[in-house]
Chain A
């Protein structure tokens, strides 16, 4: 099947270009450094007294959210950098001409690329998140209350940006698609911060900015879904009293929101297919 031919070609490219090696090495370094950090938490003292188990969990949860926020940022950038040249780069270089002159449907080429990038991203996310959670549990005893859901939310956040960038890549240059994608990701995060700010000050207009950004490009919405799944229930309680932030979420995502995310993904992928179908090579 042509989709698998292109997907396997994409995997081979990621291996040959040493991306997999780089991700493995960097993940190992990050796990090592954060592992050392988490291992120090139980031996910390507060006002001359060793931390209680509850305080260790709170500290571990805060640190974990910080580490995972960094991971979500790295994941988003990785997705943007991988997807930006996936179509545009081959159109610009001329590689696409030789591929598309074969009896290969354009939709197979694009879906193969999407699959070829999504699967390694999924494996990378699963491995990184599982290792980090296991490390935190081993060193501090803290385990996120919805571990699998948090990993899934982080993965979908990455796939959302990957799909968005791939759609841009069918029409504009690789460098421009990448830059737009990263700026959009940052803007959505800022929108989320603004929304939390609006909640604190009970300002409906500013709050709505946050809500709108969660729907427009649901990366920050998914980050908050991941936060809700990773944080202890005490954080959710504080957030529900209007103290929500990048690192605390009062509620988990609604079913309607998850449906919207799925619809968003299908629609944007559909737009990418339509756009590529009519793009001249």
Chain B
């Protein structure tokens, strides 16, 4: 793990184990000290991370952080300046790796003069699927992304959202072991975004690893098992989402507590008093009733209790601000 990265022991232990294991158990993605420079401008600066198989992994970062550059390198669309990267146990960009990967590019464009069905057939052929499997694969992809009713229409007549749905269908062809989704909902309406979340969850249920490159933090928060935050071409935090978000907190709106009583509450966690709201962070959720009882016993009057957690957006902004 590079210097300055927020480390979460459970996640890293899992990852180290998976790196050391035999080829079939190798991580979906393994990247070590990857650098990429465009002229004098660094896009990746020693990026290291690992994505386990069968999980949904969120890859977060501000614009220009190097997210799309990494995805392109994993597919061999761009070459690293230095470093090592493996996809499903094969060198990133190799034919073996690409055989097992589905990809929805950020810039999703398909042959406008083909129909949706023909685009999918082309990718069936390129993905080297058995011809007998094409009809089911195409029908399944069209149904999954909700485009069955436009299957025989030319792509040039599709809205951007429909083209993105088609791109998702293309990415799902051929039973991939890893699906790389680069901003998969950028052109979709709320219904489409919901559909994508359902598709991602279904992929996870089937044991497929999903690498979700997105700046829509709420989306990542809803579907991802793990996430990494990247800034200036390097990972600044990674781990299971719950760990990344930090420990739970509870906010209590109360009056009537003296300074001494507040001091005694510090046994429950770190106390922050903010205009009538008492925030107790890093509290064990099972101790919330005890906290409430302690406040009442100390003479406090309670108007509201808001158990919660730092949102991913709050955590993201904090990490980017600190980096």
Q: Which residues of A contact B (CB under 8 A)?
A: 2, 5, 9, 12-13, 16-17, 93-95, 97-105, 278, 280-281
Q: Which residues does chain B contribute within 8 Å of A97, judged by CB atoms?
A: 72, 77, 103, 105, 107, 109
Interface residues of B in 46-98 (CB under 8 A from A): 72, 75-79, 95-96, 98
Is the pair A103, B77 in contact by a Cβ cutoff of 8 Å? no
Q: Which residues does chain B contribute within 8 Å of A17, judged by CB atoms?
A: 113
Point out which of A13, A95, A98 has the most chain B C-beta atoms below 10 A from its C-beta.
A98
Q: Which residues does chain A contribute within 8 Å of B75, judged by CB atoms?
A: 100-101
Is the pair B98, A94 in contact by a Cβ cutoff of 8 Å? no
Asked whether B128 is an interface residue with its Cβ less than 8 Å from the other chain, the reply is yes
Kindly provide the distance from the CB of B147 to the nearest chain A CB, expressed in whole angstroms. 16
Is the pair A281, B108 in contact by a Cβ cutoff of 8 Å? no
Main secondary structure, interface of A, reads: helix
Interface residues of B in 97-136 (CB under 8 A from A): 98-99, 101, 103, 105, 107-111, 113-114, 122-123, 125-128
Q: Which residues does chain B contribute within 8 Å of A12, judged by CB atoms?
A: 113-114
Given contacts A9-B122, A103-B99, A281-B72, contact A95 B111 (CB under 8 A): yes
Is the pair B78, A95 in contact by a Cβ cutoff of 8 Å? no
Q: Which residues does chain B contribute within 8 Å of A281, judged by CB atoms?
A: 72, 77-78
> B77's contact among A16, A101, A278, by CB below 8 Å, is which?
A101
Point out which of A99, A100, A101 has the most chain B C-beta atoms below 10 A from its C-beta.
A101
Point out which of B103, B126, B127 has the most chain A C-beta atoms below 10 A from its C-beta.
B126
Is the pair B78, A103 in contact by a Cβ cutoff of 8 Å? no
Q: Nearest 7 CB-CB pairs, A to B?
A: A94-B107, A102-B126, A16-B113, A94-B109, A101-B103, A281-B77, A103-B95
CB-nearest residue of chain B to A278: B79
* Cα distance A94–B77 in the bound complex, in angstroms: 11
Sample 22 A-B pairs with CB under 8 A, ordered by A number. Answer: A5-B125, A5-B126, A9-B111, A9-B122, A12-B113, A13-B111, A16-B114, A17-B113, A93-B107, A94-B107, A95-B111, A98-B103, A98-B110, A100-B75, A100-B76, A101-B75, A101-B103, A103-B96, A103-B99, A278-B79, A280-B78, A281-B77
CB-nearest residue of chain B to A15: B113
Asked whether B151 is an interface residue with its Cβ less than 8 Å from the other chain, the reply is no
How many of chain B's residues have a CB under 8 angstroms from any CB in A?
Answer: 28
Kindly provide the distance from the CB of B170 to the nearest chain A CB, expressed in whole angstroms. 6
Asked whether B167 is an interface residue with its Cβ less than 8 Å from the other chain, the reply is yes
Kindly provide the distance from the CB of A89 to the nearest chain B CB, expressed in whole angstroms. 10
CB-nearest residue of chain A to B105: A97
* Cα distance A99–B123 in the bound complex, in angstroms: 8
Q: Which residues of B contact A (CB under 8 A)?
A: 72, 75-79, 95-96, 98-99, 101, 103, 105, 107-111, 113-114, 122-123, 125-128, 167, 170
Is the pair A280, B113 in contact by a Cβ cutoff of 8 Å? no
* Cα distance A80–B110 in the bound complex, in angstroms: 23
Is the pair A94, B113 in contact by a Cβ cutoff of 8 Å? no
Q: A98-B167, A101-B103 are in contact. List 13 more A-B contacts (CB 8 A).
A: A5-B126, A13-B113, A94-B109, A95-B109, A97-B103, A97-B109, A98-B123, A99-B126, A100-B77, A101-B77, A103-B98, A105-B95, A280-B79
* Cα distance A12–B121 in the bound complex, in angstroms: 14
Is the pair A101, B109 in contact by a Cβ cutoff of 8 Å? no
Q: Which residues does chain A contribute within 8 Å of B123, judged by CB atoms?
A: 98, 102
CB-nearest residue of chain B to A17: B113
CB-nearest residue of chain A to B69: A280
> A93's contact among B76, B98, B109, B167, by CB below 8 Å, is which?
B109
* Cα distance A102–B94 in the bound complex, in angstroms: 10
> A95's contact among B95, B98, B110, by CB below 8 Å, is which?
B110
CB-nearest residue of chain A to B79: A280
Is the pair A103, B111 in contact by a Cβ cutoff of 8 Å? no
CB-nearest residue of chain B to A9: B122
* Cα distance A113–B114 in the bound complex, in angstroms: 17
CB-nearest residue of chain B to A94: B107
Q: Which residues does chain A contribute within 8 Å of B107, judged by CB atoms?
A: 93-94, 97
* Cα distance A103–B94 in the bound complex, in angstroms: 8
* Cα distance A272–B252 in the bound complex, in angstroms: 68
CB-nearest residue of chain B to A106: B76
Kindly provide the distance from the CB of B134 to the nearest chain A CB, expressed in whole angstroms. 13
CB-nearest residue of chain A to B125: A5
CB-nearest residue of chain B to A102: B126
Kindly provide the distance from the CB of A151 to the nearest chain B CB, expressed in whole angstroms. 31
* Cα distance A91–B108 in the bound complex, in angstroms: 12
Is the pair A103, B126 in contact by a Cβ cutoff of 8 Å? yes
Is the pair A104, B113 in contact by a Cβ cutoff of 8 Å? no
Given contacts A95-B111, A102-B123, A103-B99, contact A280 B77 (CB under 8 A): yes
Q: Which residues does chain B contribute within 8 Å of A102, judged by CB atoms?
A: 98, 123, 126-127
Is the pair A98, B108 in contact by a Cβ cutoff of 8 Å? yes
Q: Which residues does chain B contribute within 8 Å of A280, judged by CB atoms?
A: 72, 77-79
Is the pair B126, A104 in contact by a Cβ cutoff of 8 Å? yes
Point out which of A104, A280, A281 has the most chain B C-beta atoms below 10 A from its C-beta.
A280
> A101's contact among B96, B101, B113, B114, by CB below 8 Å, is which?
B101
Point out which of B77, B103, B110, B128 has the most chain A C-beta atoms below 10 A from its C-beta.
B77
Kindly provide the distance from the CB of B166 to the nearest chain A CB, expressed in whole angstroms. 10
* Cα distance A17–B95 in the bound complex, in angstroms: 31
Q: Which residues does chain B contribute within 8 Å of A2, judged by CB atoms?
A: 126
Q: Which residues does chain A contribute within 8 Å of B125, judged by CB atoms?
A: 5
Q: Which residues does chain A contribute within 8 Å of B109, judged by CB atoms?
A: 93-95, 97-98
